[in-house]
Amino acid sequence: MSEPAIFKAKALIAKAQHIVVLTGAGVSAESGIKTFRAAEGLWEEHSIEDVATPQGFRNDPQLVWRFYNERRRAADIATPNPGHIALARLESLRLLRQKIKSSSAPFMILTQNIDGLHQQAGSQNVLELHGSIWLVRCTGCESLRDDYPIQLPVPPRCDECGSLLRPHVVWFGEALEEAVLAQAEKATRGADLFLVIGTSAVVQPAASYPFMAARRKIPVIEINLEKTPVSEIATLTLLGKSGDILPKLL
C-alpha cells in the first residue's frame, strides 16, 4: 500500500460529510476473532449447516448453543484493535465538526459482525446487520434480552414462556430484519463516501451496499488484505491490515 494512496484516501475523507462504513470479519481478525471464508465452509470445526442455519438449530439446539457459548466466550475476552478504535475516533471527530443539522448522520457503521467490538471501541452509530451475539431471543414469545450470563445453560429456556431461546443473529437462509434493511439502504443513499473494510463482500444484501454507492458515483474506499469483488468498483483499494491502515487515515 503506497503513501500516495493513503494521501488520496485522507483527502476523500476530509471532503466527505456523510461517511458510511461497511465492516466484516476482517476488522475483528486482529482482535483474535476468526473470519469465515478462511475456514472453507467449516467454522471452528463445524459445518455452517450444523451451527448457523435454522435447520441446524432444529436438529440439534444443544450443539448450536455449545457453539454460540464458545463464540460468546471468545467475543468476551476479545478487545477492540487499532482499526475499531480509529473508526470510533473518526466518528467522534466528525460529530465535533458537524455544524449544520442534517437528516443523515455524519458517520455510520454497517457491520456484519456480531461481536459488539465497534461499540466497545466507542462507536455510537452502529447498525448490526446480522444481529448480535449478546442478544438472546425467545423462539416462542420473541422477547429479546441482553442480560443473560455469558455461558448459557444448554439449551437455554425462556423465563417467561419456557420456549427454547436462540441467539439473535441472522443465520444462513434467514432474511435480515425489515427495519435493519431500510436503515442500511437509507444510510447508503445518504452517503457521500463509502468505506468497505475487512469483508469478502460475497454475502447479500450487505455486499450490495458499496455497489449501490458506486452507482450513485459516490467514491468507495476499500481496505482488505486482498482484492474482492468490490475492488472492481472501488475508487481506491488499500491492501493491508485494517488495524495498520485505519489509524493512518485519521
Catalytic residues: 130
Given a contact cutoff of 8 angstroms between Cβ atoms, the answer to whether 94 and 19 are in contact is yes
Q: What span, in angstroms and rounded, lies between the C-alpha atoms of 45 and 108?
A: 34
Q: Does 218 bind Zn ion (CB under 5 A)?
A: no
Residue 5: partners with Cβ closer than 8 Å, 6 or more residues away: 236, 238
Q: How far is the CB of 192 from ligand OAD (least distance, A)?
A: 23
Q: Grid coordinates in use for 202?
A: 460475497
Nearest to ligand OAD of 18, 118 (CB atom): 118
Q: Which position among 65, 199, 238, 249 is part of the footprint of ligand OAD (CB under 6 A)?
A: 199
Q: Does 226 bind ligand OAD (CB under 6 A)?
A: yes
Residue 163 is a binding residue for ligand OAD (CB under 6 A):
no
Residue 237 binds to ligand OAD (criterion: CB under 6 A)? no
In this chain, which of 123, 132, 188, 200 binds ligand OAD, going by CB under 6 A?
200
The entry of ligand OAD, Zn ion, none near residue 158 (CB within 5 to 8 angstroms by kind) is: Zn ion
Helix (H, G, I), strand (E, B) or coil at 229: helix
Return the range that interacts with ligand OAD (CB under 6 A); candidates 24-32, 58-66, 118-126, 137-145.
Answer: 24-32
Minimum CB distance to ligand OAD, residue 224 (Å): 5
Residue nearest to ligand OAD (CB): 26
Q: Can you tell me whether residue 150 is helix, strand or coil?
A: coil
Which of 113, 48, 152 is closest to 57 using CA atoms?
A: 48
C-alpha distance from residue 145 to each of 41, 134, 135 (Å): 30, 8, 6
- Find the part of the chain contacting ligand OAD (CB under 6 A) among 1-9, 60-68, 71-79, 194-202: 194-202
Segment near ligand OAD (CB under 6 A); pick from 27-35, 70-78, 178-186, 211-219: 27-35
> Applying CB under 6 A, which of residues 198, 219, 220, 221 lies at the interface with ligand OAD?
198
Cβ nearer to ligand OAD, comparing 16 with 207: 207
Site string for Zn ion, 159-188 (x = CB under 5 A): -xx-x-------------------------
Q: DSSP strand E in the chain: where?
A: 19-23, 42-43, 46-47, 107-111, 126-128, 131-138, 144-145, 165-169, 193-197, 220-224, 236-239
Q: From edge to edge, which strands make up the β-sheet containing 126-128?
A: 126-128, 107-111, 19-23, 193-197, 220-224, 236-239
Cα–Cα distance measured from residue 248 to residue 70, given in angstroms and rounded to the nearest whole number: 34
Report d(CA 13, CA 10) in Å as an integer: 5
Q: Site residues (CB under 6 A) for ligand OAD?
A: 24-26, 29-30, 35-38, 52, 112, 130, 170, 198-200, 203, 223-226, 228, 241-243
